[in-house]
Amino acid sequence: MSNRFIEKLRKLAELGEPELRALERVTAHPKTIRSRKDLIREGDPPGPVLVVLEGWAFRYKVLPSGTRQIMAFLMPGDACDLHANMLAEMDHSIQTVTEASIATINRADMNEMMTSYPRIACAMYVAQLIDEGTLRAWIVSLGRRSSVERVAHLILELFLRAVRIELSDGTTMELPLPQAVLADALGMTPVHINRILQELRRSGAIELSRGVLRIKDPAALTHISGFDANYLHKRLK
């Protein structure tokens, strides 16, 4: 009874039978959460570790002015808040996009697993490092890329992540993000996102409708975005 979380970790470290069993035990009872539901809210004390087994979610923060900024997307297999128990409270919220299957691992189990199985710990550190690299890549996008570049870059990021976790056949993927969500991730307005998407469609680089993305011209998209796969292509030394 594997799942997307286990599959992801298996790509980041060699895991044997006992490790796999431990991971299965600890993710055996996921809950189904409906779409657009906060899993964690800013200011909450840290609870259990959450793992997204199926569906999409995002980390976000809302400003005094009421605008929202999304700081990361969580796709199937992604976990949040590995070490957050060391801090007093959450500094941001997490919300589902789609209906999602979420496993919760309580702190004690998590700590025990991390100390008993160093390989699991290692895989999770690597996952966290990749996430951190992604945060930095977002900073670069928001700071120094034009809006077309930004949109193209995000699409490529999500697409490559989907390929890696086998959610994509290499050309097509489900992208269940409304334009308003893309806007809040990219620091733009929905109106402008809309125009940029049209531009990308017109240019022949992508197709996107009804939540299905199709990369028609990967080279063009890469070129437009100035994408440097480096930050996602981390592997074990």
Partner DNA sequence: CGGTAGATTGACCAAGCTCAACTCACGTGG
Partner DNA sequence: CCACGTGAGTTGAGCTTGGTCAATCTACCG
Contact residues for its own copies (CB under 8 A)?
Answer: 42-43, 45-46, 59, 61, 63-65, 67-69, 71, 83-89, 91-92, 122, 125-126, 128-129, 132-133, 135-140, 142-145, 184-187, 226, 228, 230-231, 234-237
Contact of residue 190 among its own copies, DNA, none (CB under 5-8 Å per partner type): DNA
Contact of residue 216 among its own copies, DNA, none (CB under 5-8 Å per partner type): none
First-to-final CA distance of the chain: 29
26 vs 43: CA distance, rounded Å: 26
CB of 132 to its own copies, least distance (A): 6
Token pair for 90? 């959450």
Residues forming the site for DNA (CB under 7 A)? 146-148, 178-180, 187-192, 194-195, 197-198, 209-210
- Residue 161 neighbours by CB distance under 10 Å: 20
User: Closer CB to its own copies, residue 162 or residue 185?
Assistant: 185
CB of 69 to its own copies, least distance (A): 4
For residue 181, what are the CA distances in angstroms to 74, 112, 158?
A: 13, 37, 14
How far is it between the farthest Cα atoms of the chain? 54
CB of 210 to DNA, least distance (A): 6
User: Closer CB to its own copies, residue 202 or residue 237?
Assistant: 237
User: Closer CB to its own copies, residue 167 or residue 220?
Assistant: 220
User: Closer CB to DNA, residue 11 or residue 192?
Assistant: 192
DSSP codes of every residue in 138-177: HHHHHHH--HHHHHHHHHHHHHHHHHHTT-S-SSEEE---
User: Closer CB to DNA, residue 36 or residue 136?
Assistant: 36
Q: Is the dihedral of CA 167, 230, 187, 146 positive or negative?
A: negative
